[in-house]
């Protein structure tokens, strides 16, 4: 049974197409990931599914309700953890949760029990009466997540839930996402540009690039798309990793991609049964001296490069002006 059904979903901002005729389903009880660089159309897709902006074309059903004709019913069945924290720093954790519970017209006795249960679920009951403004970013995000769960939604949307968090908080939020899905059976749709996060959390992943779904499957099946290639990480002795050596690596036909990570480390993906030996021979001919070399298993990042021809972090470091939509357009104003 599907919790979400998306058909031909499209969003245009004047002449710019942010989401381009997207089709996918989300099964009930699964964690579905939308994976892609900044500007790929992930958040715009989520906003349409949450009824915050109308599609230019196509439609979708969320929890069995049409996002255009039955938008109010859709909102009854979903929770949204937006990229920006939605809470008031001057209110306590309990006061924030009570405020949002009241917006859903939850009865007072049920609301208080629900708040206590959720605070205990994220192990923050002892901070119940502390102001949110005194919390760390990770603690705020925990409250932000359970705020979206206050009315017991069957579908939870999470837009870049670990963005800007420190490593420890990132681990805690990912574990929280898993627990919500497993213990409460909540269907989740997660947007992220972090490959490892999608691999760890998602039952299925849709890779979105320039507004289009370019691949959709389980992480393990997606990785099979790059079978027949080797991904190697190499550490060179200083100053052997020269511009000339990098250029020669990129120029040969059996090398698919080259990513310099720092002054001594490079990640190379090569194709062919003898690619490893040929790569080492090429490096020796260019007077390169390798200290350490590792052959890695394919990752979702390798899949992205295979499908799009570029490294995802190239897009996350600076968004292309052509891909930056005019968010100030009146069509993108929130709808309630």
Query: Strand 31-35 to strand 187-192: parallel, antiparallel, or no bridges (unpaired)?
Result: parallel
The pTM for the full model equals: 0.76
DSSP letters, 242-294, are -HHHHHHHHHSTTEEEEEE-SSSEEEEEEESTTHHHHHHHHHHHTT--EEEEE
Residues 137 and 258 in one domain: no
Assess if residue 215 is contained within a domain.
yes
- Domain assignment of residue 108, yes or no: yes
CA distance 229 to 243: 24
Identify whether residues 213 and 235 lie together within a single domain: no
Output the domain CATH number for residue 23: 3.40.50.300
CATH of the domain at 285: 3.30.70.100
Query: Which of 223, 246, 262 lies at the terminal end of a domain, its last residue?
Result: 223
Range of the domain at 123: 2-223
Cβ neighbours around 278 below 10 Å, total: 15
pLDDT in tens, the chain (336 residues): 899 999 999 999 999 999 999 999 999 999 999 998 888 999 999 999 999 999 999 999 999 999 999 999 999 999 999 888 888 999 999 999 999 999 999 999 999 999 999 999 999 999 999 999 999 999 999 999 999 999 999 999 999 999 989 999 999 999 999 999 999 999 999 999 888 999 999 999 999 999 999 999 999 899 888 766 778 888 998 888 889 999 999 999 999 889 898 989 998 988 887 888 888 899 999 888 999 988 877 888 888 888 877 665 555 444 444 344 444 443 443 443
User: Could you give the angle at the alpha carbon of 201 between the alpha carbons of 9 and 232, nearest 5°?
Assistant: 100
Number of domains within the chain: 2
* Token code pair at residue 192: 């992220």
């Amino acid at each position: 049974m599907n919790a979400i059904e998306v058909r031909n979903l499209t969003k245009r901002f004047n002449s710019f197409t942010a989401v381009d005729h997207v089709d996918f389903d989300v099964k009930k009880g699964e964690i579905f990931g939308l994976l892609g660089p900044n500007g790929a159309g992930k958040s715009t897709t989520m906003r349409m599914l949450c009824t915050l902006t109308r599609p230019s074309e196509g439609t979708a059903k969320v929890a069995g309700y049409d996002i255009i004709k039955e938008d109010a019913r859709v909102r009854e069945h979903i929770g949204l953890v937006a990229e920006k924290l939605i809470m008031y720093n001057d209110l306590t954790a309990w006061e924030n949760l009570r405020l949002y519970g009241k917006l859903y017209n939850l009865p007072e006795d049920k609301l208080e029990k629900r708040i206590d249960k959720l605070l205990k679920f994220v192990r923050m009951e002892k901070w119940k009466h502390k102001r949110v403004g005194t919390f760390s970013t990770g603690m705020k995000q925990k409250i932000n997540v359970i705020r979206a769960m206050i009315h017991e939604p069957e579908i939870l949307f999470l837009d870049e839930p670990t963005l800007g968090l420190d490593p420890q908080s990132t681990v805690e939020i990912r574990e929280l996402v898993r627990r919500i899905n497993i213990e409460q059976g909540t269907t989740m749709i997660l947007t992220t540009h972090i490959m490892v996060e999608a691999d760890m959390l998602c039952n299925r992943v849709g890779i979105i690039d320039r507004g289009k779904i370019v691949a959709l499957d389980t992480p393990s099946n997606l990785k099979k798309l790059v079978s027949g290639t080797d991904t190697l990480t190499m550490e060179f002795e200083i100053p052997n990793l020269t511009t000339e050596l990098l250029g020669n690596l990129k120029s040969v036909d059996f090398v698919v991609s080259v990513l310099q990570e720092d002054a001594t480390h490079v990640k190379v993906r090569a194709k062919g049964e003898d690619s490893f030996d040929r790569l080492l021979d090429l490096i020796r001919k260019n007077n390169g001296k390798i200290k350490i070399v590792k052959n890695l298993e394919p990752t979702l990042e390798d899949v992205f490069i295979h499908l799009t021809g570029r490294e995802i972090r190239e897009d996350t470091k600076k968004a292309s002006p052509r891909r930056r939509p005019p968010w100030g357009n009146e069509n993108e104003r929130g709808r309630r």
